Structure 1
Amino acid sequence: MISSTVPSDWPHPRSFYSSPNWLRFVDSDGVGRPAYLAEDGAGLVAHHAPDEGHPDYRFEILLDRDDDSARLLLGGRRGFCSPVIGSRRSTSALAELIDAALGAFPEVRGTWWWPYLPSEDVPHVVSAARSLTGETPGIHLVDADCVVQQVPADGPFASKLATSQNRTNWRREWRRFVESGLELRQVSIAEIVACGPPLLQQVELKYGNKHEEENLRATLGRQARILGEEAVAHAIFDGSRMIGYSLGYRSGQEFALRSIGLDYGALRNAAEYAVLLVHGPVRFAQENGIESLHLGTRSYEAKCRRGARVRGLWAVAPGTTTSKEKIEELAGSILAQLPTTDAAAFRSEIDAVLASLLVKGGQA
């Protein structure tokens, strides 16, 4: 039932970030100790990683807590999307898996948390947590991601966009790219490993993240070794020179965009970012019968205008208290970045999660 590696009977995941090779890639960095639990079509990922270096996966940093003791991390260590895995969705079944995971790591003394849960899974995990101790865990809005659902197999993708202005802009930016003389090609992940690190470094630096080029090359190299079969890469070329790329992975009917790299000094104001972010992946999805795109977090407004919807990502953490004030603070900052229609949908989603929980003892 419990394995230190992804078992061969791992349930079919709803997200690429719960797929076997992604989980193997995450574990290949050697940080912490993983455990995989699978039974009757359900699965659970657990990690004990007291030396976790990524701030977005440290309990005390993400949830702004004084307690920095290592809790058992459920759901996954990377990817910022950790849904419930498998088809068996009863509360007792999930509670049994959580309890078994805690038993495998006695050093955590029964403490755990599950970050980056999509909204639809929050009530299920809360119910499982409550069934174990009789207490309602705290829930915390920690982020939001962007998904494009129901990519049309036939007909232009622009027909899916919500407004005539968005449809016009979609066609214009592709025409602007074509007329620029730049070329979009699908390339191998090996080409991304060879040419992409300095482009990725520029994007990371733009967002305040300093990484050595060789460290980025090593990470991309591990992805190539472990995830090469699922990799789908697009690159923009100016002649023979790569000036931008996007790297994603296919898992079942989902395409998950993982990274974008750009040489900012070589861009021609030809919608290069939009082409790598959406146009290339959409064309690949339509050509290969893929139903949905996962575009990750941030850049909400740009992604919404190109057909994505924003969904909340939450953390469930026993021993903490839900703060409606903090939820509203983060929700408000996200809402301010969304077009009107998308903001209304996101607002309804947040309200629905809070209403479904009937939290006792907290502020929600």
Structure 2
Amino acid sequence: MSIEVLDTPTAVPGWDTALGDRDTFYASRDWLVFSDSDGEARARYAVAGDAGTPSAMLPAHLARIESNGRYRPGHEVRALASCPHRLAVLGGRRGHRSVPLPTAEVLPGLRAAAVTAFDETVDGWWWPYLLSEEVGVASGASVDHRPAVSLLNADCVLDVPGSSLDDYLAALPNKRRRYNVRQEMGTFAASGLTVRRLRLSECWEQGGLLASNVQRRYGHDHSPELMADVLRRQARQLDHRSVVFGCYDGARMVGFSLAYRWRSELVIRLVGFDYDRLRAAFEYPQLVFYSPLEFCYEQGLTGIQLGTSGLGAKALRGARIRPLWSVVQCDCVSGPTDVATVLNGRLDTLTRQLPDSEAHRFTAGIRPLAEAFATAAQTPEPPKGQNP
């Protein structure tokens, strides 16, 4: 198998072509180039096969400094809180999903090539934000022991049913939720506020101010200038995919959601608000759910990636909740693993955000997975040439 390691996905003409249709926006060439533009990490991209038609790819990064706590392993995994080692991040280092995922046969070679391509010594690796069904492949073929698995977060996906908003309403699980959605839509329609669709290049500066309001409201010290710079860099690389749903009070934008169109999906990335000028007209669900749904029905899109925040609000409006895991290969977590270690103190944090019915379903689904991951971590790797 031929493997080449490159510094940028732009050197791989077939990068996007090799990606799947669903759930791969955060592995797209343009998103990865944007992520690398902050200069906080060195990038290596391992590619199997020809660069024009690669059979598998794996991004790896080694951070000089990582400003995003969600991509610092010691911040996100309790077992690594005091870890002194330098770990490469596999699968990307922005967004909330790590893809693409090579097959089990190709992965060991790609991983070894990517991690050893850095100029500095790397002590191990961390692969965050994987779906449950991806953990097995990411955990396989380790050097001397199975990597440790930890629960990190959960994200939300809204499947777009049928061909109209009436079909969306009909798909909601009960009469009460359908009534609430109709009330929210009606309140917004009567508010005098309007929604306009824009490209990010048309509003990144104003969007930076509104996005900063949201960030600071939730305890993040992100200035308007910082957020405007993030949006400007995204517009430079991703404007052709951008759809901004701007909420206007007359000529003034008072809120927005930023989405990216990726094949059959719409990916909601960011929101911003001028809280002093809102009218209690359900502006948030209008910009995150109902206007994007209208766009999806017009364009024939079949899903909306809603991200990791506001799990409860999104579940109430029909989103599916999916657990996200990390896999770590590091001497700090080489000992026996139990269910509590796998759950990483995150299960209660996540379920407290959810309505009771969704919390019960989430818990019932995740505990058997945690037990299986804990058991697998204690099972030695089989010798080469034997199946696990």
Q: How many residues align?
A: 356
Summarize the Cα distance change of 1:190–1:328 in structure 2 as closer, same or farther, 3 Å threshold. closer
Q: 2:19 aligns with which of 12, 20, 41?
A: 12
Contact 2:148 2:377 (8 Å CA) reproduced: no
Contact 2:86 2:122 (8 Å CA) reproduced: no
Summarize the Cα distance change of 1:184–1:136 in structure 2 as closer, same or farther, 3 Å threshold. same
- The answer to whether 1:248 aligns with 2:264 is no
> How far apart, CA to CA, are the structure 2 residues paired with 1:31 and 1:360?
32
Contact 2:339 2:371 (8 Å CA) reproduced: no
SS of 1:247 mapped into structure 2: strand
Paired position in structure 1 for 2:192: 181
- The answer to whether 1:71 aligns with 2:87 is yes
5+ unaligned residues in a row in structure 1: which ranges?
Answer: none
Deviations 1:28-56 (A, max 9, x none): 11222111122252221100113222222
Q: 2:307 aligns with which of 293, 296, 320?
A: 296
Paired position in structure 2 for 1:137: 147
State the Cα distance separating 1:155 from its structure 2 match. Answer: 5.6
SS of 1:132 mapped into structure 2: coil
Paired position in structure 2 for 1:338: 354
Letter in 1 for 2:146: T
SS of 2:120 mapped into structure 1: helix
State the Cα distance separating 1:324 from its structure 2 match. Answer: 2.0
SS of 1:342 mapped into structure 2: helix
Give TM-score scaled by structure 2 length.
Answer: 0.87
Summarize the Cα distance change of 1:35–1:338 in structure 2 as closer, same or farther, 3 Å threshold. same
Contact 1:255 1:293 (8 Å CA) reproduced: yes
- The answer to whether 1:104 aligns with 2:117 is yes
Q: 2:156 aligns with which of 146, 153, 166?
A: 146
> How far apart, CA to CA, are the structure 1 residues paired with 2:170 and 2:108?
43
State the Cα distance separating 1:97 from its structure 2 match. Answer: 1.1
SS of 1:53 mapped into structure 2: coil
Deviations 1:79-112 (A, max 9, x none): 0111343xx63x1211221121122126334511
> How far apart, CA to CA, are the structure 1 residues paired with 2:59 and 2:320?
27
> How far apart, CA to CA, are the structure 1 residues paired with 2:159 and 2:57?
24
SS of 1:359 mapped into structure 2: helix
Summarize the Cα distance change of 1:171–1:67 in structure 2 as closer, same or farther, 3 Å threshold. same
Paired position in structure 2 for 1:353: 369
Contact 1:309 1:342 (8 Å CA) reproduced: no
> How far apart, CA to CA, are the structure 1 residues paired with 2:46 and 2:200?
31
Summarize the Cα distance change of 1:329–1:49 in structure 2 as closer, same or farther, 3 Å threshold. closer
Deviates more, 1:70-79 or 1:4-13: 4-13
- The answer to whether 1:41 aligns with 2:52 is no
Summarize the Cα distance change of 1:109–1:210 in structure 2 as closer, same or farther, 3 Å threshold. closer
Q: 2:340 aligns with which of 316, 325, 334?
A: 325
- The answer to whether 1:171 aligns with 2:182 is yes
- The answer to whether 1:119 aligns with 2:132 is yes
Summarize the Cα distance change of 1:195–1:328 in structure 2 as closer, same or farther, 3 Å threshold. closer
Paired position in structure 2 for 1:94: 107
Letter in 1 for 2:69: P
| % same residue | 34
Q: 1:23 aligns with which of 32, 40, 43?
A: 32
Paired position in structure 2 for 1:282: 293
> How far apart, CA to CA, are the structure 2 residues paired with 1:151 and 1:95?
39
SS of 2:128 mapped into structure 1: strand
> How far apart, CA to CA, are the structure 2 residues paired with 1:121 and 1:243?
40
Paired position in structure 2 for 1:62: 76
Deviates more, 1:254-263 or 1:145-154: 145-154
Deviations 1:51-77 (A, max 9, x none): 222222112222232124321110111
> How far apart, CA to CA, are the structure 2 residues paired with 1:169 and 1:244?
22
5+ unaligned residues in a row in structure 2: which ranges?
Answer: 49-53, 380-388
Letter in 1 for 2:110: L
Give TM-score scaled by structure 1 length.
Answer: 0.92
Letter in 1 for 2:32: L
Summarize the Cα distance change of 1:68–1:164 in structure 2 as closer, same or farther, 3 Å threshold. farther
Letter in 2 for 1:3: L
Summarize the Cα distance change of 1:151–1:232 in structure 2 as closer, same or farther, 3 Å threshold. farther
Letter in 1 for 2:40: V
State the Cα distance separating 1:154 from its structure 2 match. Answer: 4.3
> How far apart, CA to CA, are the structure 2 residues paired with 1:328 and 1:221?
36
State the Cα distance separating 1:19 from its structure 2 match. Answer: 0.9
> How far apart, CA to CA, are the structure 1 residues paired with 2:344 and 2:151?
9
